[in-house]
Structure 1
């Protein structure tokens, strides 16, 4: 029992500690690079320096890049991305980071609902996400209402595939997108303790 409590506490603390460590590390890095560079000239010209200047400038740069990206409809961002991808070693680092960031900040908003579908064969269910109602081209051919379902890979939900499923075969889950993603990332280890099925829905309790 004590071992289980200890492991549970450790598992809860490790992500928090790593997150704090990374954030503080990034702030210190920005302060050392930008802050020291600019404070050197401030000290020479004005006779004083500003603590934490690098962090402030880094935040401003992020907002400026965001504004430029929105105004230019991401043209500047796409140009920089194409430039970075030309370098063999750098692109191997950039692409995985880019995909992760895109998923965390943008793609999740396109996932409307966590669902279960009977796939890849009868009796086996896959956890997926409703992304949209299938287009009329699909529905007109089959003569029924269809949903587009994204089935993510585990443990990395950054990749996966899309299937088209009839409305009556989609089981909606009363859980949030983030909880479903945590279940996928953990490979099912972070598992709800119980399922309750009622009126075509599955809910966790």
Structure 2
């Protein structure tokens, strides 16, 4: 009985968490419908809400925003908008910080999370997974002797929080695994071995192809 119960948990818990996350994301994105005039909303047109319609609207808004800002006029409007935000005391600090992070993470030319590393943390003799984020800026590098790198050490099981460290390059070991595999290893608290994760990813790619 215990064996069957645990097997059922292993199957249903990931499905339940996935459904909960998707529901939370879609419900949040559905709030974009509030941008529409009241008479244009589904409940006014057909008498009931359509779950997921706001998600579609959000994707379209993001797509057309990116499309419009690719031309000269769009870039000029964005630059004016950013200049306006930088002159608002509290908003300027929040916006500039978030923009720097997003530009680093989503830029196609960025080096964020480019490699999975093995480093000693939080003390010598203890090892953990870290991700290469780049090199220290000139203002920091001039105070350091030797070659240093910037790394991000995620927490487990929530990798969205973690610690930023600047360590000597010689103290980091580059791992022969993808960033996705390393993240799965961290999230699973070491339960899902890298070899298993790599095999699962390969099998999934084979099915998709």
TM-score, normalised by the number of residues in structure 1: 0.57
- For structure 1, the residue ranges without an aligned partner over 5 or more in a row are 44-50, 196-202
Q: Secondary structure at the match of 1:148?
A: strand
CA offsets, 1:6-28, max 9 Å, x none?
A: 12112321233124424553565
2:40 maps to: 38
Cα RMSD for the two superposed structures:
4.8
Alignment of 1:157 with 2:165, yes or no, is: no
Q: Which runs of 4+ in 1 moved over 6 A?
A: 51-55, 80-83
Higher strand share: 1
CA offsets, 1:20-58, max 9 Å, x none?
A: 424553565555763853269xx8xxxxxxx99866654
Q: CA 1:146/1:25 → structure 2, altered by over 3 Å: closer, same or farther?
A: closer
2:148 maps to: 146
2:63 maps to: 63
Superposed, 1:1-205 pairs within 5 Å as 1-25=3-27, 29-30=31-32, 34=36, 37-38=39-40, 57-67=57-67, 71-72=75-76, 76=81, 102=102, 106=106, 110-133=112-135, 138=141, 142=145, 144-154=146-156, 155-167=158-170, 169-186=171-188, 188=189, 190-192=191-193
Q: CA 1:24/1:62 → structure 2, altered by over 3 Å: closer, same or farther?
A: same
TM-score, normalised by the number of residues in structure 2: 0.56
- For structure 2, the residue ranges without an aligned partner over 5 or more in a row are 200-209
Q: Secondary structure at the match of 2:129?
A: strand
Q: CA 1:68/1:75 → structure 2, altered by over 3 Å: closer, same or farther?
A: farther
How many pairs does the alignment contain? 176
